[in-house]
Structure 1
Amino acid sequence: MTFNPEKLLVTYRPPATKSMPAEGRKYTLTHSDATGELFLGIGTSYDKGSINPKLRDEFLAEWQPRLGQFLLSGNVYISSGEFDENISRVRYMVFKKEIPTALEAIIHGDRVFFQHFPWLVDSPIYVTFESVFPEFNKVMYYGTPRQYMGGKKKMNV
């Protein structure tokens, strides 16, 4: 999927604003298969009400302090056993392919935040894939927010 900013709907969930907080800032990204719209909730907690418990196809991310710097820690759910290995493999491959688009949506949707915290554009992004199957249970590096700004993805993951 190619990111289309016109199909992104952003909601700030108080007490979060366009500029605060940095630590603990959480993103919940969901989508509509029917319309192609992306829904980004930005808050101090995840927007659990927007998550479809049967599909579990959301992307979650949070700014976390680590060793004197911030990192953007993402998370996708593959399987806790309710999906067999073949379905889990498909879910893993789809998520792996779509993570750059999800990151582009988050970075674009929260672009005012980066004007207040410009040093965060060079923070590392790590995404955890959660699965009971070891081959899909891993943490992967996805570059920095700078690589997802301006509609140009500069790395292949």
Structure 2
Amino acid sequence: MYKFNKNKVNIFYEKGTKDICPIVPRRYTLTHSDKTGDLFITIGSNFATQNIDLKQRDEVLAKWAHINDKYIFCVYVLVDNENLKNSAEKRNKIFREELPLAIKGLAYADKELFINYPYLNSSPIYVYFHSTREDLNRIEFSGHFYDFIKCH
């Protein structure tokens, strides 16, 4: 696992999205370089599907949701699908190991949002592991943003 390095975080805002608004809809597309360890994070009202490697499918997608007057942060990873079945356990292991780094990267990329809306620091984070296998298809609570932000 790479150690978090803020100098390796590359942030892009799509047209119409600013560093402090809107909260909803606000979607994140995180891709990375295995060679350099760089994280590439696009923030916008839609996922940056043009940045997704359709063969690898190792991106991390995330979005804010407003439910019952509270904000929650939803993270989505594709453990496997019809084209990736043979690597489900390996991909699951990698996602589980690398997700803390990804969440730290997302929090760092949107630090101005957290400064302007400090209540978002206590938002719960849920990770949706999508898989064709029942044992790997699940939703997990991963903590709150303050668990990750304090590490910058």
TM-score normalised by length of structure 1: 0.93
Residue type at the aligned position of 1:10: I
| Alpha-carbon shift at residue 83 of structure 1 (Å) | 2.1
| Alpha-carbon shift at residue 81 of structure 1 (Å) | 2.1
Secondary structure at the aligned position of 1:49 is classed as: helix
Flag structure 2 segments of 5+ consecutive residues without an equivalent: none
Residue type at the aligned position of 2:48: D
Separation in 2, partners of 1:35, 1:2 = 12
1:99 counterpart = 2:99: yes
Q: Which residue of 1 aligns with 2:59?
A: 58
Flag structure 1 segments of 5+ consecutive residues without an equivalent: 153-157
Provide the aligned C-alpha RMSD in A. Answer: 1.1
**Correspondence list, 1:3-152, <5 A:** 3-85=4-86, 87-151=87-151
Share of identical aligned residues, percent? 30
| Alpha-carbon shift at residue 144 of structure 1 (Å) | 0.7
Residue type at the aligned position of 2:92: Y
| 1:33-73, Cα deviation, whole Å (9 max, x unpaired) | 12211101011001111110000000000000112201000
| Alpha-carbon shift at residue 18 of structure 1 (Å) | 0.4
| Alpha-carbon shift at residue 116 of structure 1 (Å) | 1.4
TM-score normalised by length of structure 2: 0.95
| Runs of 4+ residues deviating >3 angstroms | none
Residue type at the aligned position of 1:119: Y
Q: Which residue of 2 aligns with 1:155?
A: none
Separation in 2, partners of 1:40, 1:150 = 20
Aligned length: 151
